[in-house]
């Protein structure tokens, strides 16, 4: 990790930069080619990409009921129990986000209300490969189910033998998701965006992925399909004072660094002694990780920064706007009150970010790359549309009508004013 001591304010912007994405233009060009290919050839293109990129020879794209049934026995009982408990915690927290429909009479006879309606067709993309993210399927599937989305389509890449990871299939069954497509990468996003014979087109696409998946989601958004949020490499920022446990802090940093080589971890502290201890712990724990090579690459773009006060650390963090923010300090609640930009916040010495990744109940699909300044993480609302309604009685039109007429005339929109005037005249004549 890079150690920076007491940087000046003029240096902060450079220190808050994320690792630059390599070959962005080439990635975008390749993704556009994939979109055009999937649109032109549909399922045939998906079969070819499965063979080329996943080394899988498929005879069909949809997971069969037999494959689903067989997956249960392939998942250890202890893991099944853990997944069910995480599911229950997520369900409880996200169910609390439901809002009651409220009707408001803004003037006598003028009633307005808002109704939550589920997005009708949603696509969930779950990466496979070396780390199949069944936890992300929980994070997306639970609010989709709570929102009562009528159609949920899951895309996930096949293994070379043509199978889908059994833990993903078990989790899908727990969520009641039956439409599961063996497709990964940008080609899966392209299929969800435009539809093929086997893949239903959807209205909104959710889920993480590599830079090709991220570029594909952005292209889908340009073509009229909504996405959950801008997503990039995972990141964490830890604010730690001299009460923090260096081993805990190092473990939290490495838990993000092992996600991928382009992940970023940052630690801020006002204790130089702690900073050195954390660095020693990072070096020691790194040697024990199965994904040591990946974490090592991530640490090259990561930083340990010595600042003067908790207030200064919080100011830096709010500018950085981390995906995950850990407050490993003496009074975390007090410091948390000043947080204005973060995807999810973890308070105190016994609240590891990993808990939010899996089972505490909050959602781990969060804005990265500074987007926490203006985006929220995925929640029940992400799967709902809020439609406003209003009903105006004759009495109500007498109250609100003159207001509308005056404002419309002032803007030069005569037809708007007339839409009210004609009704008022009709009421007057009837009376």
* Residue 399 known to be catalytic: no
Torsion angle (degrees, nearest 10) of CA 133, 139, 141, 142: 150
Q: Which of 329, 308, 319 is nearest to 240 (CA)?
A: 329
Return the pLDDT at 130: 61
Q: Which of 195, 229, 233 is nearest to 22 (CA)?
A: 233
Binding residues for substrate: 234, 256, 259, 324, 357, 411, 416
Q: Which residue of the set 323, 333, 349, 405 is catalytic?
A: 323
Tokens of 346: 């973890």
Give the count of beta carbons closer than 10 Å to the beta carbon of residue 41: 13
Q: Which residue of the set 87, 94, 324, 364 is catalytic?
A: 324
Torsion angle (degrees, nearest 10) of CA 78, 79, 81, 85: 140
* Tokens 């998946």, located at residue: 213
Return the pLDDT at 375: 94
Compute CA distances 49 → 56, 118, 156, 187, whole Å: 9, 32, 13, 7
For every one of its 431 residues, what pLDDT tens digit does the chain have, with 9 covering 90 and above?
A: 899 999 999 999 999 998 876 577 889 999 999 999 999 999 999 999 999 999 999 999 999 999 999 999 999 999 999 999 999 999 999 999 999 999 999 999 999 999 999 999 999 999 986 668 999 999 999 999 999 999 999 999 999 999 999 999 999 999 999 999 999 999 999 999 999 999 999 999 999 888 899 999 999 999 999 999 987 889 999 999 999 999 999 999 999 999 989 899 999 999 999 999 999 999 999 999 999 999 999 999 899 999 999 999 999 999 999 999 999 999 999 999 999 999 999 999 999 999 999 999 999 999 999 999 999 999 999 999 999 999 999 999 999 999 999 999 999 999 999 999 999 999 999 98
* Residue 94 known to be catalytic: no
Q: Domains in the chain, start-ordered, CATH in brackets?
A: 24-227 (3.40.50.1980), 232-376 (3.40.50.1980), 393-430 (1.20.5.1300)
Return the pLDDT at 431: 82
Binding residues for NAD(+): 125, 187, 210
Binding residues for Zn(2+): 256, 259, 357, 416
Binding residues: 125, 187, 210, 234, 256, 259, 324, 357, 411, 416
Return the pLDDT at 184: 95
Angle CA 227–132–247, to nearest 5: 100
Beta carbons of 339 and 325 less than 8 angstroms apart? yes
* Integer Cα distance of 242 and 240 in angstroms: 7
Return the pLDDT at 194: 97
Return the pLDDT at 163: 94
Give the contacts of 270 (CB within 8 A, at least 6 positions apart).
241, 242, 306, 307, 308, 309, 310, 312, 313
């Amino acid at each position: 990790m890079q150690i920076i001591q007491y940087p000046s304010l003029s240096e902060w912007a450079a220190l808050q930069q994320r690792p630059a994405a390599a070959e962005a233009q080439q990635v975008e060009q390749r993704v556009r080619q994939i979109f055009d290919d999937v649109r032109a050839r549909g399922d045939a293109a998906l079969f070819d990409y499965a063979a080329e990129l996943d080394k899988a020879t498929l005879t069909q794209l949809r997971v069969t009921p037999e494959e689903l049934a067989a997956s249960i026995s392939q998942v250890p009982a202890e893991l099944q129990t853990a997944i069910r408990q995480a599911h229950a915690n997520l369900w409880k927290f996200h169910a609390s986000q439901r809002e009651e429909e409220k009707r408001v009479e803004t003037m006598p006879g003028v009633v307005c209300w808002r109704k939550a309606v589920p997005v009708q067709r949603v696509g969930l993309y779950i990466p496979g490969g070396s780390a199949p993210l069944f936890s992300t399927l929980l994070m997306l599937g639970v609010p989709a189910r709570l929102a009562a989305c009528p159609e949920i389509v899951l895309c996930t890449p096949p293994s070379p033998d043509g199978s889908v990871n059994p833990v993903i299939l078990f989790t899908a069954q727990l969520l009641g998701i039956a439409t599961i497509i063996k497709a990964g990468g940008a080609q899966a996003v392209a299929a969800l965006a435009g539809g093929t014979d086997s893949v239903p087109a959807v209205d909104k696409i959710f889920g993480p992925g590599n830079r090709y998946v991220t570029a594909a989601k952005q292209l889908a958004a340009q073509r009229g399909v909504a996405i959950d949020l801008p997503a990039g490499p995972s990141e964490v920022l830890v604010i730690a004072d001299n009460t923090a446990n260096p081993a805990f802090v190092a473990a939290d940093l490495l838990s993000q660094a092992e996600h991928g080589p382009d992940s970023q971890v940052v630690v801020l502290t006002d204790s130089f002694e702690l900073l050195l201890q954390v660095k020693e712990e990072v070096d020691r724990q790194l040697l024990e990780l199965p994904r040591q090579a990946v974490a090592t690459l991530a640490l090259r773009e990561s930083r340990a920064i010595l600042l003067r006060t908790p207030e200064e650390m919080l100011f830096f963090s709010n500018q950085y706007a981390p995906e995950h923010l850990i407050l490993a300090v003496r009074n975390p609640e007090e410091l948390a009150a000043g947080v204005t930009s973060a995807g999810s916040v973890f308070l105190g010495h016994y609240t590891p970010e990993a808990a939010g990744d899996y089972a505490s109940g909050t959602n781990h699909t969060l804005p990265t790359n500074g987007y926490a300044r203006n985006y929220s993480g995925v929640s029940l609302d992400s799967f709902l549309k809020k439609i406003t309604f209003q009903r105006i009685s004759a009495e109500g039109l007498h109250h609100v009508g003159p207001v509308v007429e005056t404002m419309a005339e002032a803007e030069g929109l005569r037809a708007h004013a007339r839409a009210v005037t004609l009704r008022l005249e009709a009421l007057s004549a009837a009376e």
